[in-house]
Structure 1
Amino acid sequence: MFEFIYLAILIGIGGTALLDLWALLLKTTLGLPTPPWHLVGRWFAGMPEGRFIRREGIPNAPTVSNELAIGWAMHYVIGILFAAAVLLIWGVQWAHNPTFLPALIVGLVTVGAGWFILQPGMGVGVACSKAPKPNVARLQNIVGHVVFAIGMYGAALLVG
């Protein structure tokens, strides 16, 4: 069990860190905004009070103390949980002899978590349907999750 937790943490952090570096690269080269982790933190902070959906949009919700830290922490916790999914499905032995396909499958399947849980909950609609450019946002989501998968695979190569 310790090995499972240890590997999930390292692989999840590795995948999430590469995703963050990707976002920084897109900001630097293309001027794209980085993800609004403070808003994600605001959304998560409302959950203990029963606020799971913000129809008015999370930017219109009142600010929350430490929302940026909460957003960053949840970003990495979710990355670790997604890495744990790889290990649950393919076993801890996957980390010792990783192949890319399992990481890619989980990376692509987890796009659905953003499209059907996070984005509607934050008031952006299902699959970014209320975003200014929904198809651009969807493409960024898919590419980002592929980058996350590459990061999980690379982290597994390093730690396995």
Structure 2
Amino acid sequence: MNNLATIVVMGIGATATMDLWGIARKPLLGVPVPDYGLVGRWLGHMARGRFRHDAIVTTSPIRAEGIIGWTAHYVIGIGFAALLIALYGRAWLQNPSIGPALMVGIGTVAAPFLLMQPGMGAGIAAARTKNPASARVQSLLTHSVFGVGLYLTGLAIQATGSL
């Protein structure tokens, strides 16, 4: 597999792992499944010049926001997989280890804390939500699971000899 294909597979695998966690945490922790349609709404309004909202749920919906949001979710996951390879090189794929994958996964929590949540009206690191501490913990857990997904996908790629 060439570098681009490897990165795409890793990003999809890690993002899918994160999505499975999103589904599992509802019965386990009572936390709702993320609504990536709201991310699509936020991104759709960016195209119209609006980057910040008081509350994205009260902002007018846009056409195909679900498709936009889910597509962006996976494209961003692929981008973060590329970051792992950029930082640790192709050698990481030949011998995947959990440390670098978790560091990248946990590091990616900066994106929602500093960009997405403020832009969607939740404030920096969810400061404007009902329970900021819980929202922060959930973001950290979710991005940690993404890191685990990077590691597991890296192991799967290595095991198949698809490098």
| TM-score interval, smaller chain | over 0.9
CA distance in 1, matches of 2:105, 2:28: 24
Q: Which of residues 110, 125, 129 in structure 1 aligns to 2:123?
A: 125
* 2:63 aligned partner: 65
Paired residue for 2:161?
Answer: none
Moved more, 97-106 or 119-128: 97-106
CA distance in structure 1 between the aligned counterparts of 2:101 and 2:45, rounded to whole angstroms? 31
2:85 counterpart (72, 83, 87): 87
1:142 alignment counterpart: 140
Partner Cα distance (1:158, 1:94) in 2: 13
**Is 1:109 the counterpart of 2:117 in the alignment?**
no
Structure 1 segments unaligned to the other structure (5+ residues): none
How far apart are the structure 1 equivalents of 2:118 and 2:86? 27
Cα deviation, residue 126, structure 1: 0.1
Moved over 6 A (4+): none
Q: Which 5+ residue runs of structure 2 have no aligned equivalent?
A: 159-163
TM-score normalised over the length of structure 2: 0.93
Match of 1:28 in 2: 27
Give the residue type in structure 1 aligned to 2:126. C
Identity across the alignment (%):
41
